[in-house]
Structure 1
């Protein structure tokens, strides 16, 4: 399972600000692994996060009456990025099949309570690459809420049992909290790492930021699967990781605490 972060595919400070050259290169690296089963997920970045904040989709409605409208607008915005990802994969020679989750998930207060992942296995059995994304999905208490691609990665890891889950970001790994000297990453992640991190350590977004990502990696490792956070800005790093190399980055090893 590969999750392409919105931070590497887009410039988050813009509005729908795609990084086309980076997307094309990452698609090419993914295409090198087309001889093995692979699921691709991607975040929303500047295609979805601004709207999610604007319409309050990251929490309870709190009296707002524009949530349905917000779900429609944000869902449309993130699908523009999704189409760009599909086009890049096709251009690179891969065979992606769109697998949107809006009609396959029910959440309760922002957490999945019912999720149907069978379509992923069906697409994989036919030799294609299912591609899904963080999306706005029905919520039985809030009307609609955000299903993050990180949350989906955890669910897919548990269901499909991949060799590893790769989170591809715009940073080389999980950065240590601010300290003198050059930035340093945690090469090995653990519960102690989670305790040391604080909101804002490497940016907080509507899907939980780095703390939420590390918590997702913990859940994946507890399921017996290696999880790695690597840079998508380093040419060839994703391709090597897809070949099974333990490339430079932050790793939560299977079964470790």
Structure 2
């Protein structure tokens, strides 16, 4: 099985509220389908989740009743995004089954405490493609919280030990700096523990699901559970398909 994360930056415009990228999502769905490989898919919330979640401070937990309507709106928005993603995958011949985290995951103080992995396992055994996503879920201590796509990826990798883990984003991999802001930023071809110390600490590296350092930490941990862990650019046609097929592609390879 191959575990694929479609980042919010590649399927949405993260700078514009609820702005979906249907063309890129269509193509990525087709690339996955063409390989004929056994996959599970996680996707980010992008502009369908991050903006309102930040506005209502949902990553800090439920501290006042006024957050409830915002939480409800985020949950509605990310389900609409998931529906768009699943429709396109289904249209390409992928028998998807959406599994919203709010119905199968529980946090404890921001950490993923429980995920009903039996649901994923049983649907997968039937030949379906489980699709899950970043969501607002119940937190045993904070009331509510954000369950990120990276947390879900880590849990699924730990349970299913995939042959390959692929993170699909809007740049070629992990860089020495933000490549959209710094023309001198260089692609880091091999990402390991040392990279965490070398990356610059900036506010741009943080969103409601955590910092780039937390994301890389998840990736390094996952690299120990799979034969190959890659971060690649889904905006480049054919790159995801080539990676799934085992071909050499421009990417960052994450090692434990």
Give the alignment's TM-score, normalised by structure 1: 0.92
Corresponding residue number in structure 1 for 2:190: 188
1:191-216 superposed Cα distances (whole Å, 9 cap, x missing partner): 10011123448742211242222111
Tell me the distance in 2 between the aligned counterparts of 1:150 and 1:178: 20
The alignment yields a C-alpha RMSD, in angstroms, of 1.8
1:140-184 superposed Cα distances (whole Å, 9 cap, x missing partner): 111110000111001100100101110000010101136985431
Superposed counterparts of 1:93-172, under 5 Å: 93-172=93-172
Structure 1 residues 202, 188: CA separation in 2 closer, same or farther (over 3 Å shift)?
farther
- Alignment check: 8 A CA contact 1:26 1:238 kept: yes
SS in 2 for 1:141: coil
1:8-49 superposed Cα distances (whole Å, 9 cap, x missing partner): 11111111011111111111111113x332101100000011
Tell me the distance in 2 between the aligned counterparts of 1:46 and 1:187: 28
Tell me the distance in 2 between the aligned counterparts of 1:242 and 1:181: 29
Corresponding residue number in structure 2 for 1:71: 71
1:53-72 superposed Cα distances (whole Å, 9 cap, x missing partner): 111111144x4222332221
CA deviation after TM superposition for structure 1 residue 109, in Å: 1.4
SS in 1 for 2:253: strand
- Alignment check: 8 A CA contact 1:68 1:144 kept: no
Q: Unpaired runs of 5+ in structure 1?
A: none
Tell me the distance in 1 between the aligned counterparts of 2:71 and 2:201: 26
For the pair 1:86 / 2:70, whether they are aligned, the reply is no
Tell me the distance in 2 between the aligned counterparts of 1:199 and 1:122: 42
Larger helix fraction of residues? 2
Structure 1 residues 141, 201: CA separation in 2 closer, same or farther (over 3 Å shift)?
closer
Tell me the distance in 1 between the aligned counterparts of 2:241 and 2:201: 31
Number of matched pairs: 252
Corresponding residue number in structure 2 for 1:47: 48
- Alignment check: 8 A CA contact 1:173 1:229 kept: yes
Tell me the distance in 2 between the aligned counterparts of 1:229 and 1:202: 19
SS in 2 for 1:234: coil
Deviates more, 1:65-74 or 1:231-240: 65-74
Tell me the distance in 1 between the aligned counterparts of 2:199 and 2:64: 33
Give the alignment's TM-score, normalised by structure 2: 0.92
Tell me the distance in 2 between the aligned counterparts of 1:202 and 1:96: 34
